[in-house]
Amino acid sequence: MSGVMPQRLRVGIVGLGVVAQVTHIPVLSSLPDRFAITAICDVSQRLVDAIGDQLHLPPGARHTDADDLVSRSDVDVVFILTSDEYHAEQAIAALGHGKHVLIEKPMALTVRDAEAIVRARDASGRQVIVGYMRRFADAFALMRDRLPELGPIGYVRVRDIIGPNAFFIDQVQDILAFDDLTDAQKQDRRDRAGEQVTEAIGDATPEQIACYRMLCGLGSHDLSAMRELIGTPDRVVAADTWRGGRFTVATFARDDYRVTFEMGVDRQGRFDAHIAVYGETGTMTVSYDTPYIRHLPTTLTIERTDGEAYHVETIRPTFTDPYTRELVHVHDVLHGRATAKTTPEDSIEDLRLFRQIIDRIRANGM
């Protein structure tokens, strides 16, 4: 495979579920000067055929085995959008065939698998970018750049309490899904998940296991973004989980201030996701809406006290969604115009923090 990337990158997609249908395929299609989908893969043959028909792909470009897709000569970058348990295996296979990789978070469920991806990337000379799309929102970038205006930080709040994704998705799009997997395929997924989570956090209660999986899914967005803004916490001061792992709170120590993290899923039709950083006389808050409805704005609110005056400024930099910004970044990185910021090494920091949260919960006897 040539080391020169074509202007229009040829994309192979592995995993055709919700995130592929709602976000990646539409965004790729909206950037035709940068990307072309040349091959797809999913374990569901019926889903492959349905999406293949939508994309007008020939039968030869439709696969149910990821190894077949990653070995294709007409694929420059592989998008790995499968269930978490398969990420590491598929990323390493793609890198072994000289492909660049965009991999949805979490990059892997274990540090060992994540480090194996790093080694495969280094051996291949290719790029691996992890899909922390919230960190590409323009409002988030603006907050990061302006954060020094606050001066010394006194407190940080990280919150992600949302309703079910289906509440938003079902109102705007029909998702294709078929029950054509074999019992062996379903069991393989369960077995891989059990083995990998046990390796990641050791013997754990069902509630702790559910909490870890939610940290890897929902929580990785928030904690990854938090780390970019303020750095990695020094330690986990306290943590608790309840309702079968559906709700979690944690307190982190960072320098001379504290951070609270709140994560939960209920059945309310709202999306309460934000990071607020409090300075002595001002606060900055980046607020997110559901990513499953494209172009809902991410906003930055700046509050500041000046003498007797209290000022509130709300900034909506753009309606362009973070996924689009992310994929433009991918294109720039693969053409040498930018340096990847959501790297495998960065993702490993998340896994280590997740383990610390679980260890603190376990120490509490939960």
Say what the pLDDT of residue 15 is. 98
pTM of the model: 0.95
The pLDDT value given to residue 1: 44
Any idea what the Cα angle at residue 314 is, between residues 313 and 315, rounded to 5°?
115
Dmax (CA) for the chain in angstroms is 69
Ranking 44-53, 142-151, 239-248, 287-296 by mean pLDDT, the lowest is: 287-296
> CA torsion sign, 322 to 325 to 331 to 336?
negative
> Among residues of the chain, what percentage have pLDDT more than 90?
97
Q: Per residue in 305-340, pLDDT tens?
A: 999 999 999 999 999 999 999 999 999 999 999 999
Backbone torsion region of residue 255, taken as left when φ is above 0, otherwise alpha when ψ lies between -120 and 50, otherwise beta: left
Residue 25 pLDDT? 98
* Cβ proximity of 8 and 302 under 8 Å: no
Supply 152's token pair: 């010394």
Q: What is the rounded average pLDDT for all residues in the chain?
A: 96
- What's the pLDDT at 352? 97
Domains and their CATH numbers in the chain: 9-131 (3.40.50.720), 135-326+348-363 (3.30.360.10)
Q: At what angle are helices 183-201 and 206-214 packed, to 10 degrees?
A: 90
Pairing state of beta strands 309-315 and 77-80? unpaired
How high is the pLDDT of residue 364?
Answer: 86
User: What is the per-residue pLDDT across 199-256, written as a single tens digit (0 to 9) for each?
Assistant: 999 999 999 999 999 999 999 999 999 999 999 999 999 999 999 999 999 999 999 9
Q: What is the pLDDT of residue 3?
A: 62
| Contact status, residue 286 vs residue 298, Cβ threshold 8 Å | yes
